[in-house]
């Protein structure tokens, strides 16, 4: 039985009992931060994950219609090494572009709360990759998943829940091996995964220049971003004729040229190649907390409680490979980070310009209408049961929706409410029993 669980991933996954933790409200502090940043509680979200840095970002659409960074969370644990998940049982956490729909939200996870990534997506299946039950969840324990503290996953889950209640039909998770900067591309130049990572970087760059969720398609067993076509995309078939909007294509091309030039310069200057790690990762703030307090008892931190069973990867017990690289969450708390990531060498080495740079940035691409406003307009003419599903703000990514497919399992007793604030209201005609409705 244990072997089967290890192969499947985080597969001790659900119980038929609804325990209520999925309806924990957003804190007053979070609601104030959302308001301060010209966002609404119900506006769409987007998630980015960076393995090497062990960070998870939640971006939220502001009133300009573009995404801005709301929170950077330190990841408590992920397993495997840098690189994609290839087969069932390899313990790899996935990398790629995933579409999260309400049915992938699990309110009764054995790991406190869970969001199924939907692996394998269309790209993964076209390339023969296998596996299932790969989650973002709590409990700081990973077998192919991205594990947070329970307090963190409660807040991330609540942000996703509110965006669904606001009319967002799905949100995008972008999982990367590291921040796709010239320095990191230079450090990892010898990796056998570099061709795959360069393809992921195209999607990364599309988001960086637009601050919009890129439209994702798959053809010829590869990702294609923001492609307009009269034909249909078949994951394993020949790509149809398509075009990328001129302003996006030009901005991405210019960014790629700058990044490639900086990467080449760094390699020429002798930037050392990164060592291969095999034990997964844990954000250095959690590593430091365990080193200071020891294992065997829960450790309370500003980013949540590290459970007694949490264990850093072997490499982290001696020296962190990331100690050279500053991260947004280096203070160890769930703080707001800069809304713009710089790709400059100077920025990566500590000369970060922060929010002022973001204010100067001119993004390309045209924002879509807010789903909450579309939902409100539709609600005036449609029955209440349809209003909650009206008008998503983003075209859905090509990978089809993956059912969570979880089997009922025993769940530990519900824990106390960890977050305080005004309780959200479930709209009439709630769309999914995944939220207990």
Length of the chain measured in residues:
437
Per annotation, catalytic residue among 76, 145, 211, 219: 145
Q: Are 56 and 157 contacting, i.e. CB atoms less than 8 angstroms apart?
A: no
Is 219 annotated in the active site? no
At a CB cut-off of 8 Å and minimum separation 6, what does 297 contact?
308
Residue 218 has pLDDT above 60, yes or no: yes
Position 57 scores a pLDDT of: 98
Neighbouring CB atoms inside 10 A of 257's CB total 10
Which range (55-69, 77-91, 352-366) has the least confidence? 352-366
Asked, for residue 179, whether it belongs to a domain, the answer is yes
Chain segment 234-260, per-residue pLDDT in tens:
999 999 999 999 999 999 999 999 999
Please, which pLDDT band fits residue 372 given cuts at 50, 70 and 90?
A: low
Residue 415 has pLDDT above 90, yes or no: no
Q: Which tokens go with 81?
A: 């090494």
Residue 138 has pLDDT above 50, yes or no: yes
Q: Which of 278, 343, 342 is nearest to 313 (CA)?
A: 278
User: Residue range 272-298: average pLDDT?
Assistant: 91
Is 91 annotated in the active site? no
419 vs 69, which has greater pLDDT? 69
Residue 205 has pLDDT above 90, yes or no: yes
Position 368 scores a pLDDT of: 77
Asked, for residue 429, whether it belongs to a domain, the answer is no
Please, which pLDDT band fits residue 377 given cuts at 50, 70 and 90?
A: very low
Asked, for residue 282, whether it belongs to a domain, the answer is yes
Asked, for residue 426, whether it belongs to a domain, the answer is no
Asked, for residue 72, whether it belongs to a domain, the answer is yes
Neighbouring CB atoms inside 10 A of 377's CB total 14
Q: Which of 255, 266, 318, 327 is nearest to 73 (CA)?
A: 327
Position 219 scores a pLDDT of: 98
Asked, for residue 351, whether it belongs to a domain, the answer is yes
Asked, for residue 424, whether it belongs to a domain, the answer is no
User: What are residue 211's phi and psi, to 5 degrees?
Assistant: 55, 35
Q: Which tokens go with 313?
A: 């990867």
Chain segment 320-339, per-residue pLDDT in tens:
434 434 333 333 333 333 33
* pTM of the predicted model as reported, rounded to 2 decimal places: 0.77
Domain count, the chain: 1
At a CB cut-off of 8 Å and minimum separation 6, what does 179 contact?
50, 52, 53, 341
Chain segment 28-63, per-residue pLDDT in tens:
999 999 999 999 999 999 999 999 999 999 999 999
Residue 356 has pLDDT above 50, yes or no: no
Asked, for residue 435, whether it belongs to a domain, the answer is no
Position 316 scores a pLDDT of: 64
Position 314 scores a pLDDT of: 81
Residue 81 belongs to what domain range? 2-416
Residue 347 has pLDDT above 70, yes or no: no
Position 214 scores a pLDDT of: 98
Position 120 scores a pLDDT of: 98
Per annotation, catalytic residue among 22, 137, 206, 211: 137
Residue 160 has pLDDT above 70, yes or no: yes
Q: Are 80 and 205 contacting, i.e. CB atoms less than 8 angstroms apart?
A: no
The CA distance from 159 to 165, in Å, is: 10
Residue 407 has pLDDT above 90, yes or no: no
């Amino acid at each position: 039985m244990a072997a089967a669980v290890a192969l499947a991933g985080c597969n001790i996954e659900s119980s038929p009992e609804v325990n209520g933790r999925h309806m924990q409200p957003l804190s007053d502090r979070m609601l104030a931060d959302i308001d301060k940043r010209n966002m609404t509680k119900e506006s769409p979200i987007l998630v980015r994950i960076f393995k090497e840095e062990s960070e998870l970002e939640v971006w939220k659409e502001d009133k300009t219609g573009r995404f801005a960074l709301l929170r950077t969370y330190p990841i408590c644990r992920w397993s495997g090494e840098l690189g994609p998940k290839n087969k069932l049982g390899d313990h790899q956490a996935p990398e790629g572009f995933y579409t999260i729909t309400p049915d992938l939200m699990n309110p009764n996870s054995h790991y406190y709360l869970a969001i199924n990534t939907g692996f394998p997506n269309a790209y993964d299946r076209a390339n023969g990759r296998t596996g299932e039950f790969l989650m973002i969840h709590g409990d700081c324990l990973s077998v192919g998943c991205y594990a947070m503290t329970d307090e963190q996953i409660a807040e991330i889950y609540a942000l996703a829940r509110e965006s669904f209640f606001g009319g967002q039909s799905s949100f995008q998770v972008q999982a990367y091996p590291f921040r796709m900067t010239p320095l990191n591309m230079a450090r990892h130049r010898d990796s056998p995964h570099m061709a795959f990572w360069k393809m992921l970087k195209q999607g990364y760059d599309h988001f960086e220049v637009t601050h919009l969720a890129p439209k994702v398609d798959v053809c010829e067993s590869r990702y294609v971003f923001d492609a307009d076509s009269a034909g249909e995309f078949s994951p394993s078939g020949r790509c149809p004729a398509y075009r990328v909007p001129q302003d996006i294509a030009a901005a991405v091309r210019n960014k790629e040229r700058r990044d490639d030039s900086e990467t080449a310069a760094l390699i020429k200057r002798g930037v050392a190649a990164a060592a291969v790690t095999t034990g997964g990762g844990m954000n250095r703030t959690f590593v430091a907390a365990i080193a200071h307090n020891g294992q065997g008892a829960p450790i309370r931190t500003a980013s949540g409680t590290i459970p007694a069973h949490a264990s850093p990867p072997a490499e982290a017990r001696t020296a962190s490979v990331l100690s050279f690289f500053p991260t947004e969450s280096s203070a160890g708390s769930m703080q707001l980070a800069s809304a713009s990531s710089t790709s400059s060498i100077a920025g990566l080495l500590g000369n970060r310009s922060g929010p002022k740079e973001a204010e100067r940035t001119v993004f390309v691409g045209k924002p879509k209408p807010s789903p909450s406003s579309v939902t409100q307009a539709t609600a005036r003419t449609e029955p209440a049961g349809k209003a909650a599903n009206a008008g998503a703000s983003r075209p859905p990514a090509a990978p089809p929706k993956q059912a969570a497919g979880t089997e009922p399992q025993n769940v530990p007793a519900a824990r106390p409410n960890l977050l305080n604030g005004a309780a959200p209201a479930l709209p009439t005609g709630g769309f999914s029993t995944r939220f207990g409705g």
